[in-house]
Structures are given as structure tokens and as C-alpha cells.
Amino acid sequence: MAVRGIEARGGRRNGLAFLYDARVRAICYQVLTVLLFLLAVGYLAHNTLQNLATRGIASGFKFLYQPTGFGLAMSLLPYDELSSYGRSYLVGVLNTLLVASLGVVLATLLGFLVGIARLSNNWLLSRLAGMYVELVRNVPLLLQILLLYFGVLQTLPSLRESLSIGGVVFLNIRGVFAPAPILQSGFAAIPIAFAVAVAASFWIWRWARRRQRETGQPFQTGWAAAALLLGLPAVAALLTGMPVSFEYPVLQGFNFQGGFVIIPEFVALLAALVLYTAAFIGEVVRAGILAVSHGQTEAARSLGLGDGQTLRLVVIPQALRVIVPPLTSQYLNLTKNSSLAAAVGFPDVVQIFSGTVLNQTGQAIECVAMVMLVYFTISLSISFFMNWYNRRIALVER
Amino acid sequence: MATASDIDRPAAGEFRPKPDQPPPALSVGPLAWVKRNLFGSRFDSLLTLACLAALYYLVPAVWRWAVAEATFVGDSREACAPNPGACWVFVNVRIEQFIYGFYPQAERWRANVVVLLGLGSLTYALSEAMPWRKWVALFLILPYPVLAYILLLGGMFGLPPVETRLWGGLLLTLIIASVGISASLPLGIALALGRRSKMPVIQLLSIGFIEFVRAVPLITVLFMASVVLPLFLPPGSNFDQLLRALIGVSLFAAAYMAEVVRGGLQAVPKGQTEAAAALGLGYWSTMRLIVLPQALRYVIPAIVSNFIGLFKDTTLVLIIGLSDLLQMVKLATTDSKWIGLATEGYAFAGAVFFVFCFGMSRYSLYLERKLGTGYRR
């Protein structure tokens, strides 16, 4: 590419020869680009300022301190109509993070199951998994969310005719109403017991690994850890006399009072996100497992490892190297797709800020920028974390 | 003449192997297949039984709902009353709106011409062994968009004008998807070349654009195009809502396309550019004649799957108020005469999207097989 014009043309040296120098040209192009870019930005900024002035729209972030005047269907923070726009932003961000993090965990679990099922020797299972993947991948996510919300959840019975599970959990068109746990004094013992169990499991895992390395004797770390993690908190709960009481939902007037409610918008969004992303993750997992050479499986079998052990100890660790990069982009997709909440009215950051707040204040640039900032930050953090993880598990070669 | 028994009787001292035993009943034939593929182990058998149970409950239920107990003919809600299954009458009655949106009835032939001509010449150009394929492809790239624009919008050559806010349904979905696809490919190639450019300013601008767009959801880009873009333009200029959406979708798709093309560019060995330079080709000739043909060939399957994603993403325009297929279905289900038929409506829309996307994905698989022959060992 970098053909030096002067030398190539046998020393033709007139006054304009420097124009044939690739370096000079590159600088000219770049200066031109910068000028054009600045000109465009300046032009747009000029227009924007004029438009804002003629439409009488304020600019700046003062509006964040004003009260919103609207309520929200779901909030992890205390929030009411008198809360500020800034607080509604926080509520929206938290709701987005909640959907995204639950979605990532559930979609990963389901996706690994689907990917392994597609590779199963069981003909029926692999065909069913394949049909699921093809069906879900070829239908828009937004349509699936709307179908789940309007086609399934909105056809649930009304408040008066709620489906009840043992008179404790109620299911109706307004969502799932379940008993809410109320913590009492002495409850702290349970999380402490859990933390002790986690530490003990970790210690057992290290001990078992060392013992296997030295003596070759395996140890059922999984069972031991499960027993500890479930058992210790249970013992603690028994010893302190069950320091948790439950507040049951009761139908009063036009709605259930008390208890814990999961709104249908949340269920529709989360379920659709998980089902959709799991199909993609399933394909990623399948490709990763297929990328592990068959010789590895055969070698594992010849060492006497069983099916499960081969998968767990030989195939998956190697497949993960192939799986992690595309898995990261699926996580990012899920997070970005959670913005489809706007379609069913789940109060995530897009629905609150690009919708209601933008309409009320008219401060389009600030609102859209603040929403974009959220996704920008989440995307960057997920990719930083996954890059770190990817480096950690990457093949170390000479 | 010797009888059979004479031949079968071995002579004294001669070795005669016994005739082969038939294979065990469970190692050949359909039963063996069933045993190997469905009941290979105890766990496998459990899985198979669970799958069969699920199918036993699911398949008849879906069949009863969608076909056996469904209503197909009629013109009102009442026609569906006697049957407990799906009410396809709803889709039947609304089908024209689902396809054309609010496009005036008298002018729908124009939409038909545009869509059929487009799909027809696309199929022709893509099928091999057809004469003059190149010319059909050229027609699709150059005169066809102009023709489609004139026919759909009207206001010229005696055609009555049809405003873009009346466009809708499957027609609008196809328009947005095809504009997005045809704009994102050249834009994406330009961005990918910019990202690999040796000039730092151009590289920086390309990376900045690509990474920024890829980090945010399409909805926010559409909101940006819908509410922020008008603020950027000189006061008093009126800007078509559809055009805003098209700009948003195209820029968004271009950033993703750029990353796919970049993958292809990286796969072309450096020797190719060096050989081109040795032949005296400049940057643009090298890219046009040597690098891009190879790079794009590597990533055709990825490009098609990008197109599928774009096609599905067109549904998002309903959030900024355009009436694409999904929005028309959504509107129809909220009609008080047809309330409670959301499942039928969305199932229909889902089937339409499935046909398009599944078709594209099969085509991409076919291309992968066809193009892979030269590289596969």
C-alpha cells in the first residue's frame, strides 16, 4: 500500500511531487476528515441550540431533582409519585440490572442443557432440542414477549377468581402473589452458617484436589459441599427456632395486600429473554463441544472415565475456551434486549426514561444520553470481565 | 447329477465351516436402531419416556387447538363461538391489513408489483444456471430501488401520492428489512476498511462509531433517530418518521456488519495484499479486486445470519410508532370486536416471520456447503 511515489517514479521531481508521497496524502486525508467531522458536529450543535431555543426546551440536568408525579409498577427502592426523576432513573437502572442478571443465569443453565441435549445420543431428545432452537431463533424476540404477555399471562383469571396454590400463593392477571418472609432477631445466624458452609466447602475442595493429586483417591466434593451448604443453614435455623415469619397475601378490596408480588410484565420479559437467549447459547455450546477433537473423548474413555466424567473433566474445560467469547456476546445481547421491556410496560430504564420522562420533560438529548450511558457501562463491564475470564482459561502455550 | 445333499456332506477330513448364525435380533434392523438411539442406557430410556410423555400431552393439544377444533371460515367473531379451538377467522378477516397496513385499497396493486418484482428478480438472480443473472442483479441494484420508490410513494407520472404513514404491515416490514440490508452492507464494508486503515484519525472514528453503536440497544438508537435527530436538523425542516427509522436501522445494522466484514478481512492472508502491491495495484484496486472478494466469500454465512437478525429487529419500529406487521397484529388484537384472540394473531405473525427467517437460514447453510467445497479437506 505504502508505495513511495517519488522513488517509484524514478525521481520525477517537480513542484507537486510531494503530493505523490503516501505519507503526505494520508496526512491530507486525515486533516480533511477531521475538518469535515468538526464542521458537521458544529452544524448539528448550532441547529440543536436553535431548535431548543425556539421550542423553549430547557437543557441541563436540573430536572433530575424535580418530582416525577408518576408511579411505577415495580421498584426495588422506596419510590412514590413525589420522588425525583433522578430516583426514577435509579429504579429503572436497578430493574434493568435485575432482569439482565437473572436472565443471564437462567439462560446459561437452560442453554447448556439445550446444547448438550442437541448432541445427545438420544435421537428423540436431540431432535426435540433442535426443533426448539430452530423455532425460537427464527421468530422475533419482541413477538415472543408480546405473545407471552398478551397470549398467555393476560388470559389468566381475574383477581376474584385467582388460581391459588394451597391458599398461600395466588396466580392471576395481576401477577404472582406469594408470602413475603419477615426476618426476626436471630436471623443473622443463618447467613453466618451459610458463609461458614461456603468457606468449609472451599477448603474441602482444595483438600480433595491435593489428596487426589498425591494419592489418586477421588473424593465426592460435590455431595459434601451440597450437604454443607444446605445442612448448616438448616441446623442454624432449627437451633435459633426458625426466626422467619411469613406475611401472607390477603385479598382486600381491589387488590391483594401484603406478601410479595411478581408482576406479569416482569415474568413475560424474563421468560421470553431466557427462552430466546438459551436457544442461541445452546448453539454456542454445541459448536464448542463439537470443536473438542474426538480423540480427547476416546482417550478419556480408554482411561476408564464414564460419560459424565468425560464431559465434566475433559470435554467441557476444553470446550469453554471456544464457548466463552461468543457466550459473552450473547450475554451482551440479552442485556440489550432487556430494553424491549418498553413493549409490555415493564419499568426498566428505557421505558421510564426514553418513554415517560422524555415525554414529560421534553429533554430528549439528556434522556436518550442517560439511557445509552447505562447500556454503554454495562456492555463495557461485561466485556472487560469476560476478557479477563477468557485470558484466565486460555490455553497456556510455550 | 449330484443332489444338494451330496454337495453339503463334507468329505472325510475336509474342513467345512458351519453356516453363519443370524445376527442377534437386537443388533440389526429397526429394533436395533430403537435400542441404540432411544434406549441406549437406563438414563437414556428415562429421557425418551419423558420426551414421549411430553409429546403425548402437547401434540394432540396443539393439534386440537390449531386444526381439529378451530374455525377457518366465517366473517365474524360469532362464527367461532361453537368451536373451542383457535379462531382463524380473525386472521382471515384482517389479512389485508396485516399485509398492506393502511395502504389505500385502490393503490395496492403498486405494492404488489414492487414486492413481487423484487422477490422474483431476487430469486432469479440467486438461482444458478439462469441466463443473464448478472443483468437481473444489476437491475435489482440500480433501477429497481428508484422504481420501487416511485411506485410506492406516487405523486409522479399520474400515480396518486400515498404518504409513508399509511404504509404498513408485511409490506413495511419488507421495505425496512430490504433498505436496512442494502444500506448496511456497503456502509459496513466502509466501516470495516476504516477500522483496519493505517490512518489513525479514520481508524479512531470508525472504531468509535462501531463500538458505540454495538454497545447500546437498537431501541435507544431508534429513539435517538426518532426524537433527537429532528433536533439536529435546521429549524423548520420536516422529517419523515419512516425515513428516521430507516436511518436508525441502517446505521445500527452497519456497525454489526462492519464487525463481520472485519472478520473476513482478517482471514485473508497478508501475502495477498503484498502480492497485489508487488503487481503495482493501489489501495482501492487491491481491496476491490483482491481482498474484498476473498474476505466476503469467507463470511457469507455470517452476513446472512446478520440479515436474519436485522429482519427480526425490524419489529422494534413499532415502539416508535410505525405500523409494521407486528404492530398491525397488535392493533387488531386490541379491537373490541376481536378481543381475546391475541394468541391467534401472534401465532400468525410468528409463522410469517418464521417462514422468512428459516428460509434465509437454510439458504445460508446451502451457501456454506457450496462455498466450503474448495476449502474443506
**Helices and strands counted in chain B (H then E):** 18, 0
CATH architecture for residues A89-156+263-393: Orthogonal Bundle (1.10)
Q: Are residues B172 and B157 in the same domain?
A: no
Candidate ranges A199-203, A357-361, B81-85, B319-323; pick with highest mean pLDDT: A199-203
For residue B377, what pLDDT is reported? Answer: 40
Q: Tell me which of A28, A54, A123, A311 to substitute to probe the interface with B (most B C-beta atoms closer than 10 Å).
A: A123
Is a pLDDT exceeding 90 seen at residue A275?
yes
Amino acid at the residue B353:
F
For residue A138, give the nearest of B52, B277, B353 by CB distance.
B353
For residue B278, what pLDDT is reported? Answer: 93
For residue A134, give the nearest of B199, B224, B358 by CB distance.
B358
Q: Are residues B173 and B157 in the same domain?
A: no
Q: Are residues B177 and B300 in the same domain?
A: yes
Go through A288-327 and write b for each residue having 16 or more CB atoms within 10 A of its CB, e for each that does not: bbeebeeeebeebeeeebeeeebbeebbbebbbebbbebb
* Vertex A70 angle, CA A69 and A74, to 5°: 140
What is the overall mean pLDDT for chain B?
Answer: 83
Residues B137-167 have pLDDT tens digits of: 777 778 888 778 877 777 777 777 777 778 8
Residues B154-205 have pLDDT tens digits of: 777 777 777 777 888 888 898 899 899 889 999 999 999 998 888 888 888 8
Q: Are residues B183 and B307 in the same domain?
A: yes
For residue A30, give the nearest of B47, B202, B234 by CB distance.
B202
Specify the higher pLDDT residue, B12 or A228.
Answer: A228
B236 torsion bin: left (phi>0), alpha (psi -120 to 50), beta (else): left
* Vertex B214 angle, CA A335 and A391, to 5°: 75
For residue A8, what pLDDT is reported? Answer: 47
Helix-helix angle B29-38:B42-63, to 10 degrees:
100
Residues B26-67 have pLDDT tens digits of: 777 788 888 777 887 888 888 888 889 988 998 888 888 888
Residue B99 lies in a domain: no
Residues A53-83 have pLDDT tens digits of: 777 777 777 777 777 777 777 777 777 777 7
Domain ranges of chain A: 5-55, 89-156+263-393
A140 torsion bin: left (phi>0), alpha (psi -120 to 50), beta (else): beta
3-state secondary structure A326-394: HHHHHHHHHHHHHHHHHHHCCCCHHHHHHHHHHHHHCCHHHHHHHHHHHHHHHHHHHHHHHHHHHHHHC
Q: Over range A257-283, report the average pLDDT.
A: 87
User: Which among A224, A221, A220 is positioned nearest to A232, based on CA atoms?
Assistant: A224
Residue B20 lies in a domain: no
For residue B197, what pLDDT is reported? Answer: 84
The residues, ordered by sequence, that sit 6+ positions from B52 with a Cβ below 8 Å of its Cβ are A124
For A69, other C-beta atoms within 10 Å of its C-beta total 11
Cβ contacts of B47 on chain A, cutoff 8 Å: 120, 122, 124-125
Q: Over range A322-336, report the average pLDDT.
A: 87
CA distance A304 to chain B (A): 17
- The CATH number of whichever domain residue B275 belongs to comes to 1.10.3720.10
For residue A143, what pLDDT is reported? Answer: 92
- How many Cα neighbours within 13 Å face the side chain of B86? 21
Q: Are residues B146 and B245 in the same domain?
A: no
CB–CB contact A142 B235 (8 Å): no
For residue A334, what pLDDT is reported? Answer: 92
Specify the higher pLDDT residue, B2 or B239.
Answer: B239
CA distance B145 to chain A (A): 26
Cβ contacts of A120 on chain B, cutoff 8 Å: 47
Find residues 106-165 of chain B whose CB sits inside 8 Å of chain A: none
Is a pLDDT exceeding 80 seen at residue A4?
no
Cβ contacts of B48 on chain A, cutoff 8 Å: 122, 124-125
Total structural domains in chain B?
2
For residue B7, what pLDDT is reported? Answer: 57
Name the pLDDT band for A164 (thresholds 50, 70, 90): confident
Q: Are residues B201 and B281 in the same domain?
A: yes
Residue B289 lies in a domain: yes
CA distance A199 to chain B (A): 34
Is a pLDDT exceeding 50 seen at residue A216?
yes
CB–CB contact A339 B220 (8 Å): yes
Q: Are residues B172 and B137 in the same domain?
A: no
The residues, ordered by sequence, that sit 6+ positions from B31 with a Cβ below 8 Å of its Cβ are B25
Residue-range definition of the domain harbouring residue B122: 104-161
CB B313 within 8 A of CB B218: yes
Residue B237 lies in a domain: yes
Q: Are residues B215 and B141 in the same domain?
A: no
Nearest-angstrom CA–CA distance, B186 and A211 = 60
CB–CB contact A336 B218 (8 Å): yes
Name the pLDDT band for A274 (thresholds 50, 70, 90): very high
Q: Does A342 touch chain B (CB under 8 A)?
A: yes
For residue A107, what pLDDT is reported? Answer: 94
For residue A103, what pLDDT is reported? Answer: 93
**Of B161, B176, B191, which one is at a domain's C-terminal end?**
B161
Q: Does A125 touch chain B (CB under 8 A)?
A: yes
For residue A138, give the nearest of B37, B316, B361 by CB distance.
B361
Is a pLDDT exceeding 80 seen at residue A20?
no
Name the pLDDT band for A279 (thresholds 50, 70, 90): very high
Q: Over range A262-283, report the average pLDDT.
A: 91
Give this complex's ipTM.
0.84
The whole-model pTM stands at 0.83
Name the pLDDT band for B5 (thresholds 50, 70, 90): low
Name the pLDDT band for A13 (thresholds 50, 70, 90): low
Residue B79 lies in a domain: no
Q: Over range B281-298, report the average pLDDT.
A: 87
CB–CB contact B51 A124 (8 Å): yes
Q: Are residues B148 and B294 in the same domain?
A: no
Q: Over range B349-367, report the average pLDDT.
A: 89
Name the pLDDT band for A366 (thresholds 50, 70, 90): confident
**Of B117, B135, B161, which one is at a domain's C-terminal end?**
B161
Residues B100-123 have pLDDT tens digits of: 888 887 777 888 878 888 888 888
- What is the per-residue DSSP string for B339-372? TT-HHHHHHHHHHHHHHHHHHHHHHHHHHHHHHH
Q: Are residues B150 and B290 in the same domain?
A: no
Residues A220-247 have pLDDT tens digits of: 778 888 888 888 888 887 777 776 777 7
For residue A110, what pLDDT is reported? Answer: 94
For residue A106, what pLDDT is reported? Answer: 94
CA distance B365 to chain A (A): 13
Q: Are residues B278 and B251 in the same domain?
A: yes
Q: Are residues B173 and B273 in the same domain?
A: yes
Q: Cell numbers at residue A28, please?
A: 491530507
For residue A6, what pLDDT is reported? Answer: 44
Name the pLDDT band for A271 (thresholds 50, 70, 90): very high
User: Which among B48, B51, B54 is positioned nearest to B34, based on CA atoms?
Assistant: B48
User: Which among B236, B244, B291 is positioned nearest to B266, based on CA atoms?
Assistant: B291
For residue B372, what pLDDT is reported? Answer: 64
CB–CB contact A343 B318 (8 Å): yes
For residue A3, what pLDDT is reported? Answer: 47
What is the overall mean pLDDT for chain A?
Answer: 82
CA distance B13 to chain A (A): 45
Name the pLDDT band for B6 (thresholds 50, 70, 90): low
Cβ contacts of A125 on chain B, cutoff 8 Å: 47-48, 51
